[in-house]
């Protein structure tokens, strides 16, 4: 068994701080890395040592160099940045360091959507109709149209190397195909330096459910129950809960079995998440992708299981013998992501100085900011995560509403009003929401009469469009309207 005495966290903000606190509880010293914007950040202050990154968090050479200079034993990547970069994993291991995460080989097989679909197919995990495209730039317009027709509208087009809702587009009409392809190809090349895309059948009212996988050092994988992440804005999750509510017992069991089967198939170890789309009308689920890292929403799994997943990650990385067969789920947990943005449905980011920050008491809050922190537009705009646990879903919702009402953040806009209204929403309460619910049906809090009228008009249009589809079917797509 290897021992981790000093850990470098190749990340920032709330996740860096969260990993540090577990490491310190385990007697492990921590090293923070930072850019100019984070010189005075909380996570930098919390670390035992800190080093400047002149070229950013993606600079592998500097990170490996710091590990050598600081005599570090291991690197934890958090999420984002280099967390799913198999080349980085190999460099870490070649330097004689421990990478706190899955093997590079498993990351290669599951880290890209095209490869993951192939592995899921081989492991007999349900897939939506679709295709993988190695180089989308080589397809002619006619070939792109034929591919979409073969899959069947509506479809989602997405970067094979992407995640978090980036570099993707939903195509509902054939007229949207050319622009959608150009948009996603351009974003895929810019963000991931990749031309590989996936075109996949889009479920109009699908829920997003996922299974937390944890593979021990011996290579045995366990399903640590499930989560629902259907409350999303612009393909980004804002409320997550565990266990996933209103799932038939046989569906839940099949989900867990498929996740373990696929993890075993690719030789997975450490923490990961199998993500699925769930069609409640048919009680069917389909594999979406795997996140070969710790998830933002790992907290709700921790709350229902009593496990510290970062602690388990560190134990597994050291080769400790761990077993999770006896872990049980208790109660219900919900997490809300507090983001620096407007709540009026525009989701416009908000930047500037946080001149006031008061957090509620007696609740778990994972945050990386405080009064005096500066929010720039350079990084993800999540400020904090509020996580509650209660005996029932209803009690958890009620508790989260109270805690959000006690939060005071001044100097910038936040999405707290939107979160509170969503928690009150009847469809959310009845688990009738779905991944596109906020865009199609939900009316966000309005800051003025003009934006309220605009939101109401958009909602009315979407409702009328859905009714027309129900009556006319595919004929409803033949329209001269320029509204999308």
Q: Which residues pair with 337 in a beta bridge?
A: 385
Return d(Cα 10, Cα 57) in angstroms, integer. 7
Measured over the CA atoms of residue 277, residue 203, residue 121 and residue 182, the dihedral's sign is negative
**From CA 230, how far away is CA 237, in angstroms rounded?**
7
Q: By C-alpha distance, which of 15, 20, 14, 13 is closest to 34?
A: 13
CA distances from 289 to 159, 398, 418, 471 (A): 12, 32, 28, 34
Based on the residue annotation, tell me whether 12 is a catalytic residue of this protein.
Answer: no
Q: What is the DSSP string of 320-389?
A: -----TT----SEEEEEEEESB-SSSS--B--EE--EEEPPSSSEEEES--TT-EE-SSS--EEEEEEEE
Separation of alpha carbons 55 and 406, rounded Å: 39
Query: Which one is catalytic: 12, 293, 420, 436?
Result: 293
Residue 135 half-sphere exposure toward CB, CA atoms < 13 A: 2
Query: What are the catalytic residues?
Result: 293
């Amino acid at each position: 068994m290897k021992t981790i005495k000093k850990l470098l966290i190749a990340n920032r903000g709330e996740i860096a701080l969260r990993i540090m606190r577990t490491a310190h509880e385990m007697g492990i010293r921590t090293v923070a890395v930072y850019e100019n914007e984070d010189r005075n950040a909380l996570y930098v202050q919390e670390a035992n040592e800190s080093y400047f990154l002149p070229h950013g968090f993606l600079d592998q050479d500097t990170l490996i160099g710091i590990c050598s200079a600081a005599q570090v034993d291991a690197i934890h990547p958090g999420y984002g940045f280099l967390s799913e970069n198999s080349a980085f994993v190999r460099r870490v291991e070649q330097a004689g360091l421990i990478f706190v995460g899955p093997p590079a080989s498993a990351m290669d097989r599951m880290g890209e959507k095209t490869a993951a679909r192939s592995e899921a197919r081989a492991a007999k995990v349900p897939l939506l109709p679709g295709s993988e495209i190695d180089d989308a730039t080589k397809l002619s317009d006619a070939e792109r149209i034929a591919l979409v027709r073969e899959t069947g509208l509506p479809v989602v087009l997405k970067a094979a190397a992407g995640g978090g809702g980036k570099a993707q587009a939903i195509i509902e009409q054939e007229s949207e195909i050319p622009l959608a392809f150009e948009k996603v190809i351009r974003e895929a090349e810019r963000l991931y330096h990749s031309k590989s895309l996936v075109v996949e059948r889009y479920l109009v009212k699908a829920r997003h459910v996922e299974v937390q996988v944890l593979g021990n050092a011996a290579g045995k994988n366990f399903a640590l129950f499930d989560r629902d992440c259907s409350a999303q804005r612009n393909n980004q999750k804002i409320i997550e809960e565990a266990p996933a509510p209103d799932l038939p017992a046989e569906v839940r069991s099949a989900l867990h079995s498929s996740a373990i089967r696929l993890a075993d198939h690719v030789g997975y170890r450490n923490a990961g998440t199998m993500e699925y789309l769930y069609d409640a009308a048919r009680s069917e689920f389909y594999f979406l992708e795997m996140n070969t890292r710790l998830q933002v929403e790992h907290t709700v799994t921790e709350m229902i299981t009593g496990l510290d997943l970062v602690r388990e990650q560190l134990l597994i990385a050291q080769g400790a013998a761990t077993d999770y067969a006896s872990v049980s789920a208790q109660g219900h947990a919900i997490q809300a992501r507090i983001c620096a943005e407007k709540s009026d449905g525009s989701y416009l980011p908000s930047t500037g100085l946080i001149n006031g920050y008061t957090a509620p008491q007696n609740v778990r809050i994972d945050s990386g900011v405080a009064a005096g922190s500066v929010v720039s537009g350079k990084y993800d705009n999540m400020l904090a995560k509020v996580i509650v646990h209660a005996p029932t879903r209803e009690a958890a919702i009620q508790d989260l509403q109270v805690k959000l009402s006690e939060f005071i953040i001044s100097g910038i806009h936040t999405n707290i009003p939107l979160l509170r209204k969503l928690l009150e929403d009847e469809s959310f309460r009845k688990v009738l929401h779905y991944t596109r619910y906020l865009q199609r049906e939900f009316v966000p809090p309005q800051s003025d009469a003009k934006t309220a009228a605009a939101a109401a008009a958009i909602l009315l249009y979407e409702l009328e469009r859905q009714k027309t589809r129900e009556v006319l079917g595919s004929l409803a797509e033949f329209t001269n309207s320029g509204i999308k």
